[in-house]
């Protein structure tokens, strides 16, 4: 009888110790869409379980296509980005030329402080970009990088690195 209780005790301990384990402990999202980034030391993570995500496409009067995305994290942080004159996979630099109006912005919904970079605020034309690495099955994947995010209150520069996988919204 003691062997039976001992066997049940060991089995119970093993079951309880493995029941809390999960296969997605690597920080990746389980949803189809996500935006994740490190913005000046602040971790930003959003997926379709937090709120609606996606790139919207706008056809301009000149015939070019602009992409716009807005993502909200569960902590209340908001990230927005726009790619002007989208032509498919590739790197879209912010501030590359006078006519390029691509931009990125990061802020908290309850605070007035924001971090952003726009075409006229880019000091280094090659370190601020939105890269589209893949477009398949109506999803767009890529990376974002910026070395010159400006703080709206005191002008201090910050950095951002991240990646995304978003659905095209018609």
Residue 21 counted as domain residue: no
Q: What range does the domain containing 119 cover?
A: 32-169
Residue 79 counted as domain residue: yes
Convert the pLDDT of each residue in 84-139 to its tens digit.
999 999 999 887 776 778 899 999 888 888 888 876 666 666 788 999 999 998 89
Residue 10 counted as domain residue: no
Higher pLDDT, 8 or 155: 155
Residue 2 has pLDDT above 60, yes or no: no
Confidence of residue 151 (pLDDT cuts 50, 70, 90): confident
Higher pLDDT, 160 or 97: 160
pLDDT, residue 66, reads: 93
Residue 80 counted as domain residue: yes
The total of other beta-carbon atoms located within 10 Å of residue 88's CB is 8
Residue 105 counted as domain residue: yes
What residues have CB less than 8 Å from 73, skipping those under 6 apart? 44, 45, 46, 50, 79
Residue 23 counted as domain residue: no
What percent of the chain lies above the pLDDT cut of 90? 41
Tally of structural domains, the chain: 1
Residue 145 has pLDDT above 90, yes or no: yes
Confidence of residue 161 (pLDDT cuts 50, 70, 90): very high
Residue 117 counted as domain residue: yes
């Amino acid at each position: 009888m003691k062997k039976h209780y001992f066997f049940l005790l060991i089995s119970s301990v093993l079951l309880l110790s493995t029941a809390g384990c999960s296969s997605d402990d690597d920080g990746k999202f389980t949803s189809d869409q996500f935006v994740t980034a490190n913005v000046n030391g602040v971790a930003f993570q959003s997926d379709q379980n937090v709120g609606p995500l996606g790139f919207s496409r706008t056809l301009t009067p000149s015939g070019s296509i602009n992409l716009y995305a807005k993502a909200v994290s569960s902590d209340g942080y908001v990230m927005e980005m726009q790619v002007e004159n989208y032509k498919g996979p590739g790197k879209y630099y912010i501030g590359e030329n006078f006519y390029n109006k691509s931009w990125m912005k990061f802020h908290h919904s309850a605070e007035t402080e924001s971090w952003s970079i726009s075409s006229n605020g880019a000091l280094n034309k090659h370190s601020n970009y939105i890269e589209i690495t893949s477009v398949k099955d109506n999803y767009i994947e890529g990376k974002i990088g910026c070395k010159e995010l400006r703080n709206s209150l005191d002008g201090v520069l910050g950095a951002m690195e991240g990646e995304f996988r978003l659905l095209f919204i018609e």
